[in-house]
Amino acid sequence: MSTEFRDSERELQRFQFRVGIAGAAVLVAFALLFARLVYLQVIQHDYYHTKAEDNRISIVPIAPNRGQILDRNGVVLARNYSAYTLEIFPRKVGDLERTIDELAKIVDIQPRDRARFRKLMAEVRGADSLPVRTRLSDEEVARFAAHRYRFPGVEIKARLFRQYPYGDLAAHVIGYIGRINEADEDRLEDEGVAANYRGTDFIGKSGVEANYQEELHGTTGFEQVEIDANGRSIRTLSRTAPRAGNNLTLSIDIRLQEIVEKAFADRRGALLAIEPATGAVLAFVSKPGFDPNLFVEGIDPQNWTELNSSPDRPLNNRAISGVYPPGSTFKPFMALAALELGKRTPSYTIQDPGYYMFGGRQFRDSKKGGNGSVDLYKSIVVSSDTYYYQLANDMGIDAIAAFMKQFGFGQRTGIDLQGEALGVLPSPEWKVKRFRRPEQQRWYPGETISIGIGQGYNAYTPVQLAVAVATLANNGAMFRPRLVDHVDNLRSGERKYYEPQLVRRIELGAQHIEFVKRAMAGVNTEGTGARAFQGAQYTSGGKTGTAQVIGMKQGEKYVESRVAERFRDHSLFIAFAPVETPRIALAVLVENAGFGARAAAPIARAVLDYYLLGQKSAEAVPTDAASDPDREGD
Amino acid sequence: MDLSARLHPRRVVESLGGSMDRPLLWVVLMLIAAGLVTLYSASYDSPARMQAQLVNLAVAALGMWIAARIPPQTLMRLAVPAYILGILFLVAVALFGDVANGARRWLHVGVTRIQPSEMMKIAMPMMLAWFFHKYEATLRLRDFALASLLLVVPVLLIARQPDLGTALLVAAAGGWVIFFAGISWKALLGVALAGLASLPPLWGVLHDYQRRRILTLLDPTQDPLGSGYHIIQSTIAVGSGGLAGKGWLNGTQAHLEFIPERHTDFIFAVFAEEFGLLGNMVLFVLYALLIGRGLMITANAPTFFARLLAGAVTMMFFTYAFVNIGMVCGILPVVGVPLPFISYGGTSLATLFVGIGILMSVQRHRKLVQT
């Protein structure tokens, strides 16, 4: 009994020892856990605190409103409007095609919307969301809202869109914006401004929209948003407002622009009107234009193909990237060169038989039988070819090239647009650079002859020609052409003017330049431009030009129905007015429209009438070619 | 004693609550209070959960009340049938159980369905306690080996479902019985070594997701959005709580849904985020008091069966708490073990309360059966 008792006593003690062990184990284990908690909650607290904040706070960029573009009178040329878009988050949607099929049952989705969406998918990789439909009606918004639960990864967003109220008017000046693609992204990265483009989907692609992208864009704002684990935003914690882009005011006058583009009707060509004393561009036309609104939300493939394959090449900005021989509009500059270099005096007179012989070859004048006795004044007024064949030969190519270079021929003008072509100022050096075979590289004296009348290798952009005219009108002071007059910061009220930029001041004899201007005035009163400027209430100087289209340009397709027309001459006209103190200078070119006096001069008249008198010219309509007395001597 | 005297309110309370151990009851009530407060915060998005948990609590409390009134001798008689029934159910589950979340855990019985692995948490220590009680006088190593076999069979069946968390708890419950029964230290060492040696082959048996969880524990950042997500987010929640916590209902990790399973297995992350280290300290003290009281009851229990059962049940609470908190703060692999009395869920709550009831019964009957 006692052993049994002692046994069970010992058993109990052993058991209670084990209970003690278990209790100790519990304490040790809890101490371990507690140590871990101290580590997490005290020692590492800051780290985890930051982690938790990072978790819940997301920085959401707020894209700034793009600045507006206005004409010189404050007429809005590019603005923003708010509209609903239906956007798909491709990463959150499994089967895109099926989702779009389903969406099409609720909102109107045309095949071209699909095509555009596919194009965007291919172009804009890595985008959060892409629009499948833009400009939803209120009814469509309501319908989608009711079915929203069925479409995870599809959302309706209110977005600002760019709108160009004048459509294709001045499209080549204004340009357009489009979605930021990979090339744009790389460029922004290189420029170190990528951070400011977080949240921005669009960027200027052409025209001043591209050139003044930085001014127009503004500064991106940020919002600190509390988000949950699913990325839904719960509330806004703080907000740094975006700063809207600056408004651009152009120097062009959209009403003048409209007059010019109407005068062009459906003909192709370009016109540049410049204020000689400042370089401010008053009108900038390249026809045909295009509707920049098509590009805003990503152009659909059908329109894209149409614009690109059209033989009229509407996307080509002829005013700065088209190169044309200047034809007879080159003659006033030749005359000025002759006076400056002492190769001619005003009184020097030739007998014009209607041709010029050189090296056994006959260079014909456009006037059959010639103009009789021709002095320098008359050479311009009646546009004598023979006079300038001879003059060119007397001056030599090197002197011509050196003189013309001062007027900016064959050089980029530095206008504030991208894509300016260089053109060709012919010279022996140019030939060496241009051609590879030695016999091609040689300059033949016979080639100099047709340079004198603005043909041959001469090839300039309309903007070069316009700047040259403006420089002439401005007595040799050349200003860089500018489309933007000033920039307004709407927030600060600050206005930044683009000061006129003097490129160079060409030293010219005052009486020489006076003489040439007088001769050009003669063109419009008694010469080849007289008909177009009949009854003008201001004095003006002008010069007609007709540029031969020698052959098909590179890259142009052979379209039979077009060939005949495409071989016709280009019609040119340069002008400035008033003669005494020119306020406007211009160059106009109408492709394949024949003589300069016929198609180009009336357009020039319309511009001058509007600008100097503030009225539309009734004569901005081309005169009939068959009975055109001006054709002589052109 | 006439009827009116019997129905006197004080007597009613005494006769209803007389079976209750007051210290244990108080600690459990405080834990429940902490649990409801935390659950309220965790289920801001589904208030119905609070009501459901209150119903769970009522049912569980009833279970506790009943268990507290069953004397240990009766429990001893129930041990073998409960164990055999449990095994049969587990086999049935393996053969015709319902699959939920990729695991076969549920068994349809008539109109309802039960989770046999859950009842094993109580049936297992009961069985082993019965076994050791029966052979108390002549315990040898062979008996411990046999007991181990009784333990291993259901554990393997549960682990196969697969339900690692429950298998672990059942194994721990049985293991504590064997420990308290007095297995020699040498044998214990041997088992420990054998356990270590069996790890590599065990690795081969594990499911992919189970292996991933263990690897994730070693380096959660390897798979931050996959299997590492739970641990990363719960550690952030705990760590960002700091000393005093973010305040009740102010846990950003909890309220912005960064904490997965925040009502159930990961509710500790919510608690630690909102109440901080100080709150954790209180929680630890409550658990320590619960376990301490349990061990006191264990030490004073009248019979070998009662002692073993009480000890195992007490240590089950510890196992629950340790594994759960260890998992939430990233030092143990993620296994499905709830935080006792705090996590949402009727089944685990019922088991825990029955365990408390058993402790109360042992305490209540400590003198009556002193033979």
DSSP string for residues in A160-218: EEEE-TTTTTTHHHH--EEE--HHHHHHHHHHT-GGGGTT--EEE-SHHHHHTHHHHH-
* A125: CATH: 3.90.1310.10
Question: For B292, which residue in chain A has the nearest alpha carbon?
Answer: A23
Which of B238, B253, B314 has its CB closest to that of A37?
B238
- How far is Cα A363 from Cα A13, in angstroms, rounded to an integer? 134
Q: Is residue A612 domain-resident?
A: yes
User: Is A266 inside any structural domain?
Assistant: no
pLDDT of B181 strictly over 50: yes
For residue A574, is it within any domain? yes
CB B317 within 8 A of CB B339: no
A384 and A465 in a common domain: yes
A243 shares its domain with A343: no
Q: Distance between CA B93 and CA B120 in Å, rounded?
A: 13
Distance CA A298, CA A115 (A): 10
Q: Which residue has the tokens 């190769």?
A: A343
Per-residue confidence (pLDDT) for residue A563, from 0 to 100: 47
Kindly state whether residues A542 and A463 are assigned to the same domain: yes
**Residue in A92, A258, A220 with CA at minimum distance from that of residue A620:** A258
Per-residue pLDDT tens digits for A182-204: 888 888 888 888 888 888 888 99
Last residue in a domain, options A230, A250, A270: A250
B56 and chain A in contact, CB less than 8 A:
no
Rounded Cα gap, residues A26 and A24, in angstroms: 5
In a domain, A313, yes or no: no
- A46 → chain B, closest CA residue: B240
pLDDT at A633 over 60: no
Helix or strand or coil: residue A10? helix
B chain contacts of residue A15, beta-carbon cutoff 8 Å: 180, 182, 299, 307
Please give the residue range of the domain that contains residue A582.
320-484+500-627
Residue B34 scores a pLDDT above 90: yes
| pLDDT value at residue A621 | 43
Tell me whether residue A46 is in a domain: no
A351 and A246 in a single domain? The answer is no
Q: What is the pLDDT of residues A58-81, one digit of tens each?
A: 777 888 999 999 999 999 999 998
- Judged by a CB distance cut-off of 8 A, whether residue B319 touches chain A is no
Whether omega before A242 lies within 30 degrees of 0, making that bond cis, reads no
Report chain B's mean pLDDT, rounded to a whole number. 86
**What local confidence, expressed as pLDDT, does residue B358 receive?**
94
Q: Is there a contact between B118 and B166 (Cβ–Cβ < 8 Å)?
A: yes
Of A430, A500, A489, A417, nearest to A459 by C-alpha is A430
In a domain, A438, yes or no: yes
Q: Which of A250, A285, A304 is the last residue of a domain?
A: A250
A559 φ/ψ angles, rounded to the nearest 5 degrees: -120, 110
**Integer Cα distance of B177 and B129 in angstroms:** 6
The residue from A204, A224, A250 where one domain ends is A250
**Mean predicted confidence (pLDDT) in A289-298:** 87
Contact B274, B252 (CB under 8 A): no
The answer on A329 and A231 residing in a single domain is no
Does A202 lie in the same domain as A331? no
In a domain, A495, yes or no: no
Instruction: Concatenate the DSSP letters of all residues of A522-580 into one string.
Output: HHHHHSTTTTTTTT-SS--EEEEEEE---SPPTT----HHHHHHHTSPEEEEEEEE-SS
Nearest to A225 by CA among A367, A387, A371, A55: A55
Query: What are A88's strand-pairing partners?
Result: A130, A154
A246 and A330 share one domain: no
B258–chain A Cβ distance below 8 A for any pair: yes
CA dihedral sign, ordered A381, A384, A385, A386 = negative
Instruction: Read off the pLDDT of each residue in A317-337 and give the average, rounded to a whole number.
Output: 93
Residue A406 sits in a domain of what CATH number? Answer: 3.40.710.10
| pTM value surpassing 0.90 | no
Nearest by Cα to B63 from B360, B318, B328: B360
Residue A343 belongs to a domain: yes
CB B127 within 8 A of CB B150: yes
What pLDDT score does A438 carry? 86
Task: Kindly tell me if the per-residue pLDDT of B84 is higher than 70.
Answer: yes
A206, A286, A328, A617: the active-site residue: A328
The number of domains in chain A is 2
Check whether A630 has a pLDDT greater than 50: no
Mention every residue, 6+ apart, whose C-beta is less than 8 A from residue A551: none
Could A45 and B331 be called an inter-chain contact, meaning their C-beta atoms sit closer than 8 Å? no
* Cβ density class B153-163: b for 16+ within 10 Å, e for less: ebbebbbbbbb
Which residue would you say has higher pLDDT here, A310 or A339? Answer: A339
Confidence of residue A337 (pLDDT cuts 50, 70, 90): very high
How far is the C-alpha of A269 from the C-alpha of B50, rounded, in Å?
Answer: 79
Pairing of strands A221-227, A233-240: antiparallel
Q: For residues A410 and A417, what is the distance between their CA atoms, to the nearest angstrom?
A: 17
